[in-house]
Structure 1
Amino acid sequence: MSTPRRVLVIGGGAAGNAATILLRRAGIDVDLVEAKDDWNATAGSGITLQGNALRVLRELGVWEEVKAAGFPFGSVGITAPDGTVLHVQRDLRTGGDDLPATVGMQRPRLQQILIDAVRAAGATVRLGTTATILDQDATGVTVRLSDGREHRYDLVIAADGLGSATRAQIGIADKPEPTGMAIWRVAAPRPAGVQHTDLAYGGPAFIAGYCPTSDTTLYAYVVEKNRDRASIPPESYAEEMVRLASAYGGAWPEITATITDPAKVNYTWFDRLLVEGAWHRGRVVLVGDAAHCCPPTMAQGAALSLEDSWVLAQMLIASDTWDDELLQAYYERRIARVRPVVEGSVQIGRWQLDGVRDADVPGLMARTMTMLRELP
């Protein structure tokens, strides 16, 4: 690279942290701003990381820590609502044969590993800070931070999530749309017999499942048709999740006995977003949930976000010219991979909402996962 470069990353989630680590490793100056004072270090219950996510985490240099903190496994069980195991399916190793098919993790633990890696990389981090795009030209972007100071950057990477303020600031009108489903999530102790994800279809919910996240923990979830959030007071969250989950057998009675604190239960609608045409305007470019999101029916949200940052960083590092052509090439490389995952994830949910009993969910999943095994 012929001249020093300076990049602003807006958002300190998985995508923003990954972009920061990779660019700093290449010697590029990076400022990272995150709106939350705590850097989201305690948010969330659990996360399912499939092989293609693990592949990027290995590139970030944190794979050994992830492996030690998480729970690797290689199959998924399909059960009846009463807990009877109907089938155990081996998962495809989308990250290659030298990585597990899946690792379950406590989401705060993954975030802390990435935070530590960002700090070690030497990025400038400003927490409790937002950014406003003031203007830009062919050479860079002028940004005002919420502390009132203005800065000039060669590139701005918007990794500020599903409700991205940056996306709107640069004139991209796309917004997330609800798919009609919602999910209850909670972290809980792991019953000894839980060795992989189990999914029960039917009963009072569309899906009741859980994923081990360490030797001692798991996260459990129940998916239903979305309801008006205003009709569910937060103090009832534990009661509501227990009401739904109590219809399920197997490990569920042991899990539901621990769901007592409504503050530890999360209720979220499923959304869909896929920005079309380009993920940039000038020298401001979207990554992760700011550009796309989908229901977690394929457990690919974090993986696609991590891939975005990996691909974009590779392209930026390899080029002396950061221009419209380069950023459009990034979009075209990613959209071909992201679109089938977004559309497939939404389709699985639609089949459930519509009560389609002969839907080819296994076939759709197999085709998509086979595609994801290829390098992004």
Structure 2
Amino acid sequence: MSTSRTVLVVGGGAAGNAATILLRRAGLAVDLIEARDDWNATAGSGITLQGNALRVLRELGVWERVRASGHGFDEVGITAPDGTVLHVQRDIRIGGDDLPATVGMQRPRLQGVLIDAVRASGASVRLGTTAESLDQDADGVSVRFSDGTEGRYDLVIAADGLGSATRAAIGVPDRPEPTGMAIWRVAAPRPAGVTRTDLTYGGPAYIAGYCPTGEDTIYAYVVEANRDRASIPPGTYADEMRRLASAYGGHWPEITAHITDPAKVNYTWFDRLLVEGSWHRGRVVLAGDAAHCCPPTLAQGAALSLEDAWVLAQLLTAADRWDDALFRTYYERRIARVRPVVEASVQIGQWQLDGVRDADLPALMGRTMAMLKELP
């Protein structure tokens, strides 16, 4: 295919950054725009990256930096609310035997690694910029930007997240829906002896857990039924999370002692989104959270977004024609993989909301992980 084609990537998160790196490697001209001036470089506490995410990060050429910046492990512990370890499960290395099952990482560090790779790729990056209008014809897309400039592209990749303005602008009606759960997250110093994720089901919250993100850091989280966000003043976030977390034993007392700064505590609802039918309209195609989102009960959100970028880049760089048939192939490959993950992630939460005690959670997780072990 001709490498003179031009691509606009809207959104500098996992999917947008990955697509930019891969398309630039193939010699395409890529402009990336990101609405936030800081490129999300300091946002978030921690992230859990399973093997299928690590597989794509290796393809991007950033695996060594990810490994050095995070903490890899191959087990997950299940504990009682008092901290008693009930079971330790060896995880499947779904990314391959040469990658750990899971890497925990501070989210800003992962974003920093991807930002550096985008910069090194030679892509044009404009921060604090949005696409104000998209005017399509048979040959491409004319874009007017928020700074008053214009551009012409052969393709626009909409990777602008769960609340994607691009998705709405091209007439895709799907919107995220809350699942009924919410999560409190915080970064904290890593207690001695924490070497893996431990999860507690029950107590005052549905789930309490933590994940090591480096030599001396973790991120901790508590999942409860969602509440009216307007009823929780941000200045009380630390108090609210500490109240829930203080009921748990084991390593939790040490973690809870560091939940003091409300500005460092994040509270978000769990949402579900799965765009059905197609992920494109003309020469604008959706990727990442703009196309799908699931609760973090299987820790697959970033992994699925990275996979989208990998598959889309493979198809674009191998094709002589960018047409409906190509974008349909992209959708069909991804929907068959994404749908069961979204459904399983929602089901795990729904079982907890409904108080189902005999749900076969290990079987559901086993089937899902076995599927994800295959290449996307």
Say whether the fold is shared (TM-score over 0.5). Answer: yes
- Whether the aligned pair in 2 keeps the contact of 1:31 and 1:125 (CA below 8 Å) is yes
Inter-partner Cα distance in structure 2 for 1:3 and 1:129: 25
Letter in 1 for 2:60: L
- Whether the aligned pair in 1 keeps the contact of 2:3 and 2:28 (CA below 8 Å) is no
Q: Deviations over 1:320-340 (max 9, x none)?
A: 100111001100000000000
Q: Which moved more, 1:126-135 or 1:218-227?
A: 126-135
Q: Which moved more, 1:131-140 or 1:165-174?
A: 131-140
Matching residue of 2:262: 262
- Whether the aligned pair in 1 keeps the contact of 2:186 and 2:259 (CA below 8 Å) is yes
Question: How much does 1:3 deviate?
Answer: 5.5
Inter-partner Cα distance in structure 2 for 1:200 and 1:362: 15
- With over 3 angstroms needed to count, the CA separation of the structure-2 counterparts of 1:28 and 1:95, relative to structure 1, is same
Matching residue of 1:40: 40
Letter in 1 for 2:271: D
Aligned residues: 376
Pair 1:215 & 2:224 matched: no
Inter-partner Cα distance in structure 1 for 2:32 and 2:15: 12
Matching residue of 1:95: 95
Inter-partner Cα distance in structure 2 for 1:197 and 1:303: 17
- Whether the aligned pair in 2 keeps the contact of 1:132 and 1:166 (CA below 8 Å) is no
Inter-partner Cα distance in structure 2 for 1:59 and 1:3: 20
2:184 is paired with a residue whose SS is strand
Letter in 2 for 1:214: G
Inter-partner Cα distance in structure 1 for 2:320 and 2:98: 34
- Whether the aligned pair in 1 keeps the contact of 2:205 and 2:222 (CA below 8 Å) is yes
Structure 2 residue runs of 5 or longer lacking an equivalent are none
Inter-partner Cα distance in structure 2 for 1:110 and 1:32: 18
Inter-partner Cα distance in structure 2 for 1:328 and 1:284: 12
- Whether the aligned pair in 2 keeps the contact of 1:79 and 1:85 (CA below 8 Å) is yes
Question: How much does 1:355 deviate?
Answer: 0.1
- Whether the aligned pair in 2 keeps the contact of 1:196 and 1:211 (CA below 8 Å) is yes
Letter in 2 for 1:269: W
Letter in 1 for 2:186: V
Inter-partner Cα distance in structure 1 for 2:265 and 2:254: 16
Letter in 1 for 2:2: S
Question: How much does 1:138 deviate?
Answer: 1.5
Inter-partner Cα distance in structure 2 for 1:138 and 1:210: 50
Letter in 1 for 2:312: L
Inter-partner Cα distance in structure 2 for 1:181 and 1:15: 25
Letter in 2 for 1:335: I
Pair 1:69 & 2:79 matched: no
Q: Which moved more, 1:152-161 or 1:137-146?
A: 137-146
- Whether the aligned pair in 2 keeps the contact of 1:133 and 1:141 (CA below 8 Å) is no
Question: How much does 1:134 deviate?
Answer: 2.8
Question: How much does 1:221 deviate?
Answer: 0.1
Pair 1:49 & 2:49 matched: yes
Inter-partner Cα distance in structure 2 for 1:132 and 1:338: 29
- Whether the aligned pair in 1 keeps the contact of 2:184 and 2:241 (CA below 8 Å) is yes
Letter in 2 for 1:231: S
Q: Deviations over 1:187-213 (max 9, x none)?
A: 000001100000001100000000000
Identity %: 83
Inter-partner Cα distance in structure 1 for 2:360 and 2:276: 27
Structure 1 residue runs of 5 or longer lacking an equivalent are none
Matching residue of 1:323: 323
Inter-partner Cα distance in structure 1 for 2:42 and 2:309: 23
- With over 3 angstroms needed to count, the CA separation of the structure-2 counterparts of 1:27 and 1:3, relative to structure 1, is closer
Matching residue of 1:167: 167
Inter-partner Cα distance in structure 1 for 2:197 and 2:132: 41
Inter-partner Cα distance in structure 2 for 1:352 and 1:3: 50
Question: How much does 1:133 deviate?
Answer: 3.4
Inter-partner Cα distance in structure 1 for 2:206 and 2:54: 28
- Whether the aligned pair in 1 keeps the contact of 2:3 and 2:26 (CA below 8 Å) is no
Inter-partner Cα distance in structure 2 for 1:168 and 1:9: 16
Matching residue of 2:112: 112
Runs (4+) of structure 1 moved beyond 3 Å?
A: none
Inter-partner Cα distance in structure 1 for 2:360 and 2:159: 34
Inter-partner Cα distance in structure 2 for 1:299 and 1:151: 37
Q: How much is the aligned-residue C-alpha RMSD, in angstroms?
A: 0.6
Question: How much does 1:225 deviate?
Answer: 0.2
Inter-partner Cα distance in structure 1 for 2:259 and 2:25: 42
Inter-partner Cα distance in structure 2 for 1:286 and 1:361: 31
Pair 1:125 & 2:98 matched: no
Inter-partner Cα distance in structure 1 for 2:253 and 2:75: 22
2:250 is paired with a residue whose SS is coil
Q: Deviations over 1:71-122 (max 9, x none)?
A: 0000000000000000000011110111000000000000000000000000
- Whether the aligned pair in 1 keeps the contact of 2:93 and 2:100 (CA below 8 Å) is yes
Inter-partner Cα distance in structure 1 for 2:261 and 2:186: 10
Matching residue of 2:134: 134
Matching residue of 1:299: 299
Matching residue of 2:274: 274
Matching residue of 1:177: 177
2:186 is paired with a residue whose SS is strand
2:55 is paired with a residue whose SS is helix
- Whether the aligned pair in 2 keeps the contact of 1:136 and 1:282 (CA below 8 Å) is yes
Question: How much does 1:132 deviate?
Answer: 2.7
Letter in 1 for 2:318: A
